[in-house]
Amino acid sequence: MNRTFKFGAHVRHLDLPLMNIRARPLGAIWCPNLRSLKIEVDYLVPASICDLPSLAATFHACPNLIAFDFVMQEAPLVPAGFWESEDETRFMCSISRLRLLRFDIRGRVLFDPRGSQRMDTLMRINQSVGPALEQWHAVGPRESQIRVLAQAPNLKHLTIDSFTGNILNHPTTLRFLRLPNRVENFSTMFPLFLAACPLLDELDLVENCIDDGGFDVLWTHRPLELLRAARTFLVSAAAIARYLTLRGSRLRRLTLPAHHSLFLSGEGGVISAALIASAPRLTMVDFGRIGKLYPAAIVKMADQLPHLRVVGIRNRSPGYEGRI
């Protein structure tokens, strides 16, 4: 093998966990053909390893980068003078060409002693987003998040922590929406954002709950391919079965409420029957804590749903929880 062979020139996708306090600065990366980069930073790693000049150097060394996924306890630091430097211009230009941008800040920025500076950093990054953006994990001041939605007409995949009415003012081509935090007045907002996202295929409600009326609202929307409603409490098996009968034709993955008191004994069979009759594409279903789901119902699902691979069941009894 030629000793001058440079491995970096052939790398297209890179997942880089930085878990060592002796990690080298990111600027050492040289992957000119890199398309996607994920960096996950342990809390022990010095902040200087992942400050904005280091990220700017990485982007400059990877001119074909279009997907950037950054996981860290806090927003990256900005040394004095960076915003007036050539590095800042290069960094913001690199942000503008991204199709996927995810800053997953695990810590609580607002309670950080330098929280104001870090929020300003996230705001500036949001301001640099361009029309190429298709997937985005929203962070930063709410006003800057709304601005991103206005300047990203091709956005298809969105995870957003603080969903507000202002977001509905911007036309959207969203196909996937994830709401990791509880939305204020969610029962009122739910039909509004469904109407604002007519192309939505996948919906993950996470901490937000819908009741029977919420499932009825879903009738008005196109059939979903993915629905996760794991935290929903006030809903009947009949309402879920009714929705599946009317809108289950495209459903591939379904997560139902993980709560033991939702359904009466045996009502899981009502839902499994609706899935068999109306969800021929189903590959995964998590029934949550639905009381009893008789083995015969599971066997029947496995026999009559050709694509089904995963069935999740949870019960209050020890040893019952699992997947089949």
DSSP string, 261-321: TSS-TTTHHHHHHHHHHH-TT--EEE--S-S---HHHHHHHHHH-TT--EEEE--SSTT--
Q: For residue 175, what pLDDT is reported?
A: 95
Q: For residue 270, what pLDDT is reported?
A: 86
For the chain, the structural domain boundaries read: 1-155, 188-324
Q: How far apart are CA 289 and CA 162, in angstroms?
A: 28
Position 148 pLDDT exceeds 50 = yes
Q: Are 122 and 103 in contact (CB under 8 A)?
A: yes
Q: How far apart are CA 15 and CA 38, in angstroms?
A: 5
CATH 3.80.10.10 fits 188-324, yes or no: yes
If phi > 0 it is left, if psi is from -120 to 50 it is alpha, else beta; for residue 77 that is: beta
Q: How far is CA 228 from the centre of its chain?
A: 12
Side chain identity, residue 121: T
Q: How far is CA 218 from the centre of its chain?
A: 20
**Topology classification of domain 1-155:** 3.80.10
Position 227 pLDDT exceeds 60 = yes
273/50: higher pLDDT: 273
Segment 86-109 shows an average pLDDT of 88
Segment 110-137 shows an average pLDDT of 84
Q: How far apart are CA 94 and CA 63, in angstroms?
A: 8
Q: How far is CA 178 from the centre of its chain?
A: 5
Q: How far apart are CA 40 and CA 292, in angstroms?
A: 41
Q: How confident is the model at residue 319 (pLDDT cuts 50, 70, 90)?
A: very low
Is pTM beyond 0.75? Reply is yes
Q: Are 285 and 312 in contact (CB under 8 A)?
A: yes
Q: For residue 42, what pLDDT is reported?
A: 84
Q: What is the DSSP letter of 162?
A: S
Compute the residue count for the chain.
324
Q: Which of 47-56, 95-104, 142-151 has the lowest mean pLDDT?
A: 47-56
81/43: higher pLDDT: 81
Tokens standing for residue 52: 């904005």
Which has the closest alpha carbon to 202: 218, 181, 185? 218
Q: How far apart are CA 85 and CA 12, in angstroms?
A: 29
145/223: higher pLDDT: 223
Q: Which of 23-27, 72-76, 218-222 has the lowest mean pLDDT?
A: 23-27
Q: How far apart are CA 34 and CA 28, in angstroms?
A: 14
Q: How far apart are CA 257 and CA 192, in angstroms?
A: 23
Residue 22: is it exposed, middle or buried by C-beta count within 10 angstroms (0-12/13-18/19+)?
A: exposed
Q: What is the DSSP letter of 183?
A: P
Q: How far apart are CA 250 and CA 268, in angstroms?
A: 21
Q: How confident is the model at residue 24 (pLDDT cuts 50, 70, 90)?
A: low
pLDDT in tens, 54-87: 889 889 889 999 999 999 888 887 888 999 999 8
Segment 273-288 shows an average pLDDT of 94
Tokens standing for residue 129: 């987003």
Q: How far apart are CA 215 and CA 238, in angstroms?
A: 10
Do 1-155 and 188-324 have matching folds?
Answer: yes
